[in-house]
Structure 1
Amino acid sequence: MAQDVKKLPVSAGAEASGGHGTSPPPVKHKRPIAEERLESLFQTESISSLLNHNEDALRRGDISAGYYVSEQAFGNLMPSLKPLRDRLANHGFSFELTYKGEGMGNMSGGLSKGMDYTHEVRIAMLFDLGRLTRWKPLEGWFLHGIVMNREGRQVGWDHVGERNVLLTEVWSIHGPAAARLADLYVEKSFLNNRININLGRIALTHTYSTSVLLCTFMTMCSAPMAIREPAGWSVYPKTSWGGTFRIRPTRDLILRTGVYRIGPKAVDNTGWAWGSEPYTGIQTPVELTWEPFFGERKLPGHYKIGYAHDTSPYADMIGVVPPAFAGSVQKHKEKPRDTFYIETDQMVYRSHGQHQMAGGYVLAGFVHNTPSNSTFANEFYVGASLLGIIPGRPFDRFGVMYSYYQLSPRTTYGQRLRQMAGMSMGAYVNAPQTHSAILEAYYGIPIMPGLVVTPEFEYMMRPGETSVIPNAVLAGLKVISAL
């Protein structure tokens, strides 16, 4: 099966580097990533057939956004290692060693002026089990693994007064761990690459409700906050036992669905405690993606609709009901949680290449969770990611994003009851919480192969989801390097 993998015009590094404007001429590279080699069941199109009658040549050789968000640095800082990498790959093992550092400071508003730093050091490994063992039953089976270290503090907690929305991408959310195991799963394609499965320990937000474009924004990677926050959506580096089944019904559609065992986020600190890890229920996500190409320049778009049902019992977000209201206010019983989302991105102009990241995009999305037992009832976002907007800097990428977050109305109601009763509304809560919003902008600069430097700006409106804390202005720098 490994011999059947097609040569692709963009490598894993180039895919994400395009997200930050670091996409020099694409490099052909073999990589068994599911969507890149998933053949359609029927050699036709769905509603894309109404757009034009030209052969969709791009789709067959182009990268496919969404399955796995790679690092955003093109090439490597140590090209002298390429012969060794090639020899290892020929024997069935390849790897990517990356560093990501983020420093964000609160310049005005919030709780206080100050800066926090956080980083991630990660090694992503891919084992071609057929080549490694030379055993025919394992031909076409691949093992994916990630081991990483994260350290640092969250500027939103320390200086802004925001504890629901993360203001940086990287944060040691589960506490210190010298080596944390993230994804560890096997992948296999069947029926001449028409069906793809993966099984093991997987971060759901590396498979569902994600894209290369979203992960160029600090506050949106690897998925919108309303997706990442619920315990049922295991977010990297937290993983869940389960698997995903993928098919491409037609050339322009991808359907993915799966079943995952769900457990509390904060219990497993390292990812290695498989036997003692508790679980509360089952998550069953399903996502359909339409990938059309518009016009003579074949501008790609990605239009997703998704739904997930989490069988875990979740408590009413109203919290503690004061005794004075106990006779008139009843808490809802624990019940499962549902999530619905729509996400879109569309290239609006093409520049410096024919691959999918060679141009500028507009993007938008909406997420809805069961309001009574979810921290975030709704989230919507709208933004743009534009390549080469400054003359003489063709591979720089500028991004801007506005995101709006609405908390559960039951959270607001419960806090108002406790406020009227003279009780504490909750830890770090200074008024009934309702909503907040963030305006984020970045400018990604490829310094050299393997190194991207990105100045960042954020304007946090209503920190803590109240009007008590002043709006905060933040600025910082993100550095990504591939060693």
Structure 2
Amino acid sequence: MQPASSFARSFPVTGSPVAVMGHMPYRRSGIPVAAMAASYLLLAGNVSPAQAQVMDRDIGSAPSQLVATPLPPNATTQTSVPAFSHPEVVIKNPLSAWLRARGINLLIDNTNEFAGAITPPTRGSNPGFVNYKQGASNAGQYAVQLDIDWEKLAGWQGFATHMITVGRYGTTANRMFGDWLNHASETYGGGGNVVVHLVYMYGEETLYGGRLAIAAGRMAEISDFAASPLFCNFQNASMCGRPKGITDTNFDAGYPASTWGFRVRGRPAQSVYIQTGLYPIEDGIYQVYQHRTGFKFNGANIIGYAAPIETAWEPIFGHRTLPGHYKLGAQLFSTPQSDNFLDIDGRPYALTKAKQKTHSASWATWAMFDQRLLHYRDKDSGLTALWGITYNDPHTSLREYVAYGALLNRGFLRSRPFDTMGFAFTYTKIAKGVSLTEQYLMARGGTMPNHATGVQRGAMVMEANYAIHIMPGIIFTPLFEYYIHPNAQNNLRNAALLGFKSHIQIM
């Protein structure tokens, strides 16, 4: 799944998620700690620029890597499977090289995310405040990725299959201070609380030298659409693994959820693509009762279809050192959804207590951009800006829109060419109908939706971090998160958190 050589100028080759920077795991084998540390330092000193690990790469980012891969300047029409990810690892092993030479790419990693509040939560007489507390949380994910190049294995030209399974653990700190919109740890949730959860499993045929790609199977729609491998340089889930507004409904299959799907992508020019697809909407895709393991392939719960379309321009400026990606997209949901304010007679349902009005379809749109602004010494270094907006159907959505911006500064320090400084913010605007409904419900003492303890209007989440390339296969990222109006409520105290994100590429 690793993109063509031109994309390496845009985003460095790296690995995937993993956890804890604990004790050395080889003590039981009798290998002296000093000798082991020396071998680690030797490996760290031999890191080649092409293999340096950054958080643009983790297990699950491969589809978005391919989306953002322009054709190389010398592209031909010869069909072949795009190269798979080949990240650096903590300890190299001959088995991986042997498998890769035969078209089998097996990756194993873990990501661990810790966040702890350094500010006290809101206190008061509101009954909803009683469970709020100042605390910390840890969440994480171990993941296995299996890519098979059937061209190498069986002579099927241009055909590959991709599969990911994960296991997730822990909880997230934001709910401790009343926020249910944006997780402080992105790896929390969706994994079904099982040892093995299937994320996706699909086949893809690449034709005409990458100018046409067709995929089908169990797919995570939002890994291909409205996606970028840059988003998960951050920990908070308002940004990683995509700006949260794009999965405002439970009808969008985003990692680690998937549905049956079909997608086709064409590249009419070197730096332009257009893609579309059709994804059956499965009821309860984020719910344990239906998709706990991800292996329940039950077509009986299909309730409609999602049809996305996206196009992008991917220029590379400055003597091919300043890549950019400028994409626009939209999608239509055929499944009926309830109005967030009106009843069937066109009056506020919070006042009449009548059944909510039903819309036969709904939609979402997005505009997403990133551009490297400065280039430093290493080919993958530089200052990159990200900005964009997702805008949803205001009559059926919770988040009417989410706007975001971010800066990634990689290799600014000459002595630390693979370290990355990052800053990001997201602003969430709650749909007007939701705010008005909650006003009426509060005035009448009614039950509030969305775990709200006040009227929801708007919220901002900010994050600043510094990703340290510790050694081959390991990244450690101290970070600071700040929530302004948690849960989009003005009556909740702003919250500050300190934490870290660690990633280890095992294989």
**Contact 1:377/1:408, CA 8 A, preserved across alignment:** yes
**Contact 1:205/1:222, CA 8 A, preserved across alignment:** no
Give the CA deviation at 1:84: 1.5
1:332 aligned to 2:357?
yes
Aligned position for 1:77? 90
Aligned position for 2:22? none
**Contact 2:7/2:69, CA 8 A, preserved across alignment:** no
1:142 aligned to 2:160?
yes
**Contact 2:9/2:320, CA 8 A, preserved across alignment:** no
Aligned position for 2:217? 200
What is the SS of the residue equivalent to 2:487?
helix
Query: Percentage identity across aligned positions?
Result: 24
What is the SS of the residue equivalent to 1:280?
strand
Name the aligned partner's letter for residue 404 of structure 1.
Answer: Y
RMSD: 3.3
TM-score (norm 2): 0.80
Aligned position for 1:90? 101
**Contact 2:103/2:150, CA 8 A, preserved across alignment:** yes
1:432 aligned to 2:455?
yes
**Contact 1:10/1:27, CA 8 A, preserved across alignment:** no
1:212 aligned to 2:229?
yes
Name the aligned partner's letter for residue 157 of structure 2.
Answer: E
1:155 aligned to 2:155?
no
Give the CA deviation at 1:427: 6.2
1:117 aligned to 2:130?
no
Give the CA deviation at 1:35: 5.2
1:374 aligned to 2:435?
no
Name the CA distance, whole Å, in 2 between partners of 1:322 and 1:207. 38
What is the SS of the residue equivalent to 1:417?
helix
Name the aligned partner's letter for residue 138 of structure 2.
Answer: Y
What is the SS of the residue equivalent to 2:368?
strand
The alpha-carbon distance between structure 1 residues 278 and 470, as it changes in their structure 2 partners (threshold 3 A), is same
Residues paired across the two proteins, number: 443
Give the CA deviation at 1:475: 0.8
Aligned position for 1:15? 13
Aligned position for 1:104? 115
Name the CA distance, whole Å, in 1 between partners of 2:68 and 2:359. 41
Give the CA deviation at 1:250: 1.0
Residue in structure 2 matching 1:341, options 366, 369, 372: 366
Residue in structure 2 matching 1:165, options 182, 192, 215: 182
Name the aligned partner's letter for residue 184 of structure 2.
Answer: L
Give the CA deviation at 1:60: 6.3
Aligned position for 2:340? 317
Aligned position for 1:26? 50
Name the aligned partner's letter for residue 372 of structure 2.
Answer: M
1:231 aligned to 2:250?
yes
Give the CA deviation at 1:69: 12
The alpha-carbon distance between structure 1 residues 369 and 70, as it changes in their structure 2 partners (threshold 3 A), is farther
Residue in structure 2 matching 1:281, options 279, 304, 308: 304
**Contact 2:68/2:228, CA 8 A, preserved across alignment:** no
Name the CA distance, whole Å, in 1 between partners of 2:366 and 2:51. 34
Give the CA deviation at 1:368: 0.3
The alpha-carbon distance between structure 1 residues 447 and 233, as it changes in their structure 2 partners (threshold 3 A), is same
- 1:28-47 correspondence to structure 2 within 5 Å: 34=66, 39=71
Name the CA distance, whole Å, in 2 between partners of 1:213 and 1:68. 20
For structure 1, which segment, 300-309 or 258-267, has the greater mean C-alpha deviation from structure 2 after superposition?
A: 258-267
What is the SS of the residue equivalent to 1:418?
helix
What is the SS of the residue equivalent to 1:380?
strand
**Contact 2:70/2:272, CA 8 A, preserved across alignment:** no
Name the CA distance, whole Å, in 2 between partners of 1:261 and 1:457. 38
Aligned position for 2:42? none
What is the SS of the residue equivalent to 2:174?
helix
**Contact 2:231/2:242, CA 8 A, preserved across alignment:** yes
Give the CA deviation at 1:336: 1.5
Name the CA distance, whole Å, in 2 between partners of 1:69 and 1:233. 26
1:126 aligned to 2:147?
yes
Name the CA distance, whole Å, in 1 between partners of 2:366 and 2:301. 28
Name the aligned partner's letter for residue 113 of structure 2.
Answer: E
For structure 1, which segment, 148-157 or 445-454, has the greater mean C-alpha deviation from structure 2 after superposition?
A: 148-157
Give the CA deviation at 1:12: 12
Aligned position for 2:206? 189
1:459 aligned to 2:479?
no
Aligned position for 2:271? 252
Name the aligned partner's letter for residue 160 of structure 1.
Answer: F
Structure 2: segments with no counterpart, 5+ residues? 18-44, 53-61, 77-81, 122-131
The alpha-carbon distance between structure 1 residues 311 and 278, as it changes in their structure 2 partners (threshold 3 A), is same
Name the aligned partner's letter for residue 203 of structure 2.
Answer: V
Give the CA deviation at 1:353: 2.9
**Contact 1:69/1:215, CA 8 A, preserved across alignment:** no
Give the CA deviation at 1:448: 0.3
Name the CA distance, whole Å, in 2 between partners of 1:383 and 1:324. 38
**Contact 1:460/1:473, CA 8 A, preserved across alignment:** yes
Name the CA distance, whole Å, in 1 between partners of 2:350 and 2:170. 43
Structure 1: segments with no counterpart, 5+ residues? 40-55, 62-66
